[in-house]
Amino acid sequence: MSRQTGSGGERPQITNTAVDCTAEYLIQIGILQGDLNVSLRVDAPDDDAPLAAAERRLARSLLYRWRAEADAWDMTDPQPLPVRWTPSHRVASAGEYIPAGSGTDTIAGAFLRLGPRRRLVVLGTAGSGKTVLSVLLTLELLARRLTQGEREVPIPLVLSLESWDTRRQSLTEWLVDRLHRDHPGLPPVDGVHPARRLVLDRRVLPVLDGLDELPGHRRAEVLDVLNSGLGGDGDAVLVSRTAEYADLDGQGKGLRHATVIESLPLRPDEVADYLRRARPRARAAAWAGLLDTLRAQPSAPVSWALTSPLMVWLVRRSYEQPPSAPGELADRARFPTREAVEAHLLDRIVPAAFPARPPEPGRLHPPRAWDAERADAWLSYLALLLSRREESELAWWRLYAAPLPRLLAVPALTAAGILLSFVIRAPMSGYARTSGLGDISVTNAVMFGVVLAALARSVTAGWFGQRLAEPRRSANPLLFVHALRSVDRHARVGPQVRLAALTGGPALVVVLLALYVFRTPDPALVMLAIGAVLPVLLMIVYAAPADTVDAAGPGELLRGEQTTLVTTVTLVAPLIGAGAGSFFWLDARGSGSWWPAFGAWAGASAMFVLLSPWSRWILAKCSLAATGRVPWALMSFLGDARTAGLLQLSGGTYRFRNRRLQEHLAGRRARERGTAAVPGPPRVPALAAARHFTVRSTGDRYHLRGRSRRLPLAHWAVLGPLMAFVLVRFTVAGQWRELPSWASVLFLPFLGALITVIGFLMPRRRIELEVTRDGVTSVTGRRRRSYAWRHVEEITVRRVIFRGRDAGFYALQVRPTADAPRPPRRSRLGDGWYLVLPLGLTPRIDDGLSGALAGFAGPRWTHGTGTRPSAE
């Protein structure tokens, strides 16, 4: 409101102005002696306001996430690590020129000044700080966006290229899908998730890491699709090792119109200044010797070792607390080489991460104090377990594959089933006395529930593939439509089958109930509709696998699995019980009691619980913790190890902060146990060194010939689930009391062992493998397989996945190109792979065969080192 007084005693002029006001009434309080003028100015509505809100929510979420990762690794305390970069001279197409610099106080500004295309490739050797540089660049871009309100700054989205299947998704669809999965809670724009608007409007900046970790042929394929997806004005940041990207750039496969910089090792004088600022002031004297060595002797072993950001972080954490003496690292007598310094630091990192600190008085929930020696042993065991399985992701649902839980699986399942049989029969004792069949009536009711639960579980396993062994997505039973979306996203069946099942299933329920009401009053129709068809449909909807790669954390996945298990027991199992109860209640010859419904519900619940990922997790954790391999509070320990900087999150799994740290801990554990060290390059002979085999190798041909005994194992992939089902039915239903019933339990393992023994005792079969410049040919018995290199996209050693199940052994496999003639159906495995030659229980092959494949197949040969395929 403004008040103006005119000349000559004119009455004051009062003006009210409302801007973007939503008020319905304007009240003026006071004495009005002049005219009242009200003006309303309405600005044009901002159509991008909802999208801007979604951008702020996304940027804030990413800032919190990456700030926590940076804090865990001390990237910004007391200030960012002095990571340097320089324009790369190893890449021909270097794009625009960015002058050399240090830190991230200028790299973000230099990136934003690129134009008209802001495309940056960050290169570097292992440990040179390229990942640190990309993370700090991400943090500064997010900070500029949120604190300074710079709308032109894109929102960096850090992604791993391993999760991009370029054969199925374009760049746009991949980014949209990742935004949907990682950030489902963004505020909607025009009633839908804003992912597609954010991507199409170029509001997000893909920061892509892991190019060098992809197989050779996939690197070129990813860059081709990336160049096509970015078009003429798309922005991106690509992180890779120098050698791998330089090779692609030499072939004309580099990122087009990109500026290429290379991160450099840290300089000793900069490291000294950084450590001087980071060290506690009270320990200045203890750090003086090391800092003086870094400044005065740049060629000393410790100076060379501390050129890596990882080693700088290790020395800071290891010597932060007294009575440690960092000056000992400058002693050349104890540490004559760079490798000696690095090994010493890696040995000290776990005790430094878990110091013995008493809880602070007055705190309601003080942090848990882990014993450093035991924590070192636990992490070393987990590192050895991952290295022996040749994996890098530590997933709680895969701990079940450790040797001890597998050994205890059958005894634990038997004991749990017998205990549940007592719990179920206790309240049903009265029903057993009044029914005509006695205890058999209880057994039949429980067995009825177990069988129908096994049916629902089997159909779900066929729908989602073997991913049913992974944790399941937490679904709200009240949000049925929302839960229905995951049925289509994770399904392994075709769209016709999905459409037929999701439309025909409910129709079948209605038809069966209508037949009972209007035509044939048979209670079996009600039982089939309510106890069989409907539970299968709900099991498919509420038992979809979770997005383990894109999950917020392992704890979320575990809670989601627990919630889904409760939903299954309280929603699906009661339907099975109602189906059984309706049969006995509606049948004229039935008992008219609902106790069979309780028995069927209990049997179905036992089936769902005992064979769930949660029960496997409990068995693995308890057995490993009881033997001292892991702590009882394993999830809390892993979370504290991440907070301490030893682990990092990778979706729903943990990874060691550095692959070298994992290999160091695993190798030390193996040496302490006197076992084989961490698997490395293929040095163990396999086929070529086996008995009855001969090898002839020339410059143009590698030929392996001989005979080998069969070791049939594929049938165990089918017999294993059947054995688990039979064991649950046998124990929970109370059949374990009857001695003759044990024969049914022992039949399946006897059958499996018999097939394996018979196959092994059969005459040795003919084995041949020929590798030439034209292709690869194998002969196994009477079956001959031949693949020309021009029709092969990739050849590697992988686990055999037969009909969606892990067969338990390895084989040499090929992935044909799109235009290749289809190989015989009997050679088809899974995910587009075809069998060349079975290898056995180990992925190892001899050096001669590996060299021949590398020479003749070229970049098509990507030795998988036994990496488990995605189907598992």
Position 497 scores a pLDDT of 75
637 within a domain of the structure (yes/no): no
847 within a domain of the structure (yes/no): yes
**Bigger pLDDT: 579 or 842?**
579
CA distance 69 to 655: 13
Q: Are 408 and 425 spatial neighbours (Cβ–Cβ below 8 Å)? A: no
The three-state (H, E, C) secondary structure of 522-567, written as one string? CHHHHHHHHHHHHHHHHHHHHCCECCCCCCCCHHHHHHHHHHHHHH
Short-list 810, 826, 841, 827, CA closest to 776: 827
Residues 87 and 28 in one domain: no
Among the three residues 291, 321, 353, which one is the final residue of a domain in this structure?
353
**If you average pLDDT over each of 483-492, 499-508, 523-532, 612-621, which comes out highest?**
612-621
538 within a domain of the structure (yes/no): yes
The string of pLDDT tens digits covering residues 63-105 is 877 777 777 666 666 666 777 777 776 676 666 666 666 554 5
Produce one character per residue of 10-19: b if its CB has 16 or more CB atoms within 10 Å, e if not.
eeeebeeeee
Residue 302 has pLDDT above 80, yes or no: yes
CATH number of the domain at 209, please.
3.40.50
How much is the mean pLDDT over the chain?
A: 77
389 within a domain of the structure (yes/no): no
Position 798 scores a pLDDT of 80
Position 700 scores a pLDDT of 85
Q: Is the pTM higher than 0.75?
A: no
187 within a domain of the structure (yes/no): yes
Residues 198 and 81 in one domain: yes
Range in 31-35, 382-386, 603-607, 741-745 with the lowest mean pLDDT: 31-35
Residues 542 and 568 in one domain: yes
Residues 815 and 754 in one domain: no
Report helix, strand or coil for 507: helix
Question: How much of the chain exceeds pLDDT 90, in percent?
Answer: 6
Residue 621 has pLDDT above 90, yes or no: yes
Residues 498 and 567 in one domain: yes
Among the three residues 220, 235, 264, which one is the final residue of a domain in this structure?
264
Position 674 scores a pLDDT of 59
Residue 454 has pLDDT above 80, yes or no: yes
Residue 32 CB neighbours (<10 A): 11
User: Strands (DSSP E) along 713-774, which ranges?
Assistant: 765-772
The string of pLDDT tens digits covering residues 698-713 is 888 888 888 877 777 7
H-helix or E-strand containing 693?
strand 693-697
* Identity at 227, one-letter amino acid code: N
Domains identified in the chain, total number: 6
Region of 570 (left: φ > 0; alpha: ψ -120 to 50; beta: rest) is alpha
Phi and psi angles of residue 103, each rounded to the nearest 5 degrees, phi first: 80, 180
| Strand arrangement of the beta sheet that strand 155-160 belongs to | 101-102, 84-87, 259-264, 119-124, 236-241, 204-209, 155-160
Q: Positive or negative CA dihedral for 629, 632, 635, 636?
A: negative
Residues 101 and 90 in one domain: yes
Q: Once rounded to an integer, what is the mean pLDDT over residues 111-133?
A: 79
Residues 438 and 329 in one domain: no
Confidence class for position 683, pLDDT limits 50, 70, 90? very low
Residue 804 has pLDDT above 60, yes or no: no
Among the three residues 554, 584, 611, which one is the final residue of a domain in this structure?
611
382 within a domain of the structure (yes/no): no
Position 618 scores a pLDDT of 93
The string of pLDDT tens digits covering residues 417-429 is 999 988 888 888 7
Residues 732 and 773 in one domain: no
555 within a domain of the structure (yes/no): yes
Residues 727 and 844 in one domain: no
Where in the sequence is the domain holding 279, given as residue range(s)?
268-353
Residues 798 and 719 in one domain: no
Residue 337 CB neighbours (<10 A): 12
411 within a domain of the structure (yes/no): no
Residues 703 and 822 in one domain: yes
Residues 689 and 579 in one domain: no
Residue 543 has pLDDT above 50, yes or no: yes
Q: Cis bond leading into 184, ω under 30°?
A: no
